[in-house]
Amino acid sequence: MCYVKIAWSEIFAHSLPEGHRFPMAKYDLLPEQLLYEGTITYDNLFAPEPLQEQFILDTHDADYWHRLKNLQLTSSEIRKTGFPLSEELVNREVVIMNGTLQAALFALQFGVGMNIAGGTHHAFTDRGEGFCLLNDIAIAANYLLKYKSINSILVVDLDVHQGNGTAQIFTDEPRVFTFSMHGGHNYPFHKEKSDLDIPLAEGTDDKTYLSLLKHHLPRLFDQHEPEFVFFQSGVDVLATDKLGKLGMSIAGCKERDRIVLELCHRNNLPVAISMGGGYSKQIAHIVEAHANTFRLAQQVYF
């Protein structure tokens, strides 16, 4: 039997100070929901090992990585990441990085691979920002370029916040095309230049969003003929999101994912999916929107 392989580890749900706005609980609640409803079984899940340092250094600046690993970031650098720095946090990040890398390798084998965490697109070559310390999509993409003879990659970043770190990392890499649809007046307030940026007005609804996606994404597939796709499927596009400022419904977010996955499947393109952000007040909304991505991957590919 073929089935979607999903990276998950107990350390994904990292302990944070009380009242912290990042919803770490989703990393336990999401697999619980998928298992409970029968969308997946334990056979779908794999626990990644920590990523080897050499693959981190293929993407990230050595000085930054060594200062991060040794807990030597400045207070300003730590504040920009949004997380209190600790050995446990760094270990978590390194496991998440390998989760996406292994998901990419499973995608080469089965068509799709997924990470319950990841989508850390605000991490730059030499710094972290916005709940992102290392960039899982960039690390996995560079691995495919260097070790798997992949020569054309499309990053489809549909988180509500621009994938600024990913854009910076691949500025001078023509083999990776970065596409970001995001809130035009939202974090990060200084945007990097993706290969294609689609800034969205506040309150953008399902109809407008999906129309834009249907217009742009097939053209990118046709024009750039990617051999592999990374999909950042953040659910902070929801109208209920505290940080998002868009107007999408859970059904609209699900249709967004369907468009991406069916295009990849129709074009025989392997896709690795990272979950990205989601900050709705009710965590049930976050979990349901994320769960739809996994349900669709199972339906479309298997």
Nearest to 117 by CA among 244, 234, 253, 39: 234
224 closest CA partner among 295, 176, 285: 176
CA–CA separation, 134 vs 151, rounded Å? 23
Catalytic residue among 14, 121, 122, 182: 122
Residues 154 and 224: beta-carbon distance below 8 Å: yes
* H helices, E strands: number in the chain: 10, 8
Integer Cα distance of 148 and 142 in angstroms: 10
DSSP annotation of 2 = -
Known catalytic residue: 185?
A: no
Kindly state the tokens that stand for 293: 């991505």
**Enzyme catalytic residues:** 122
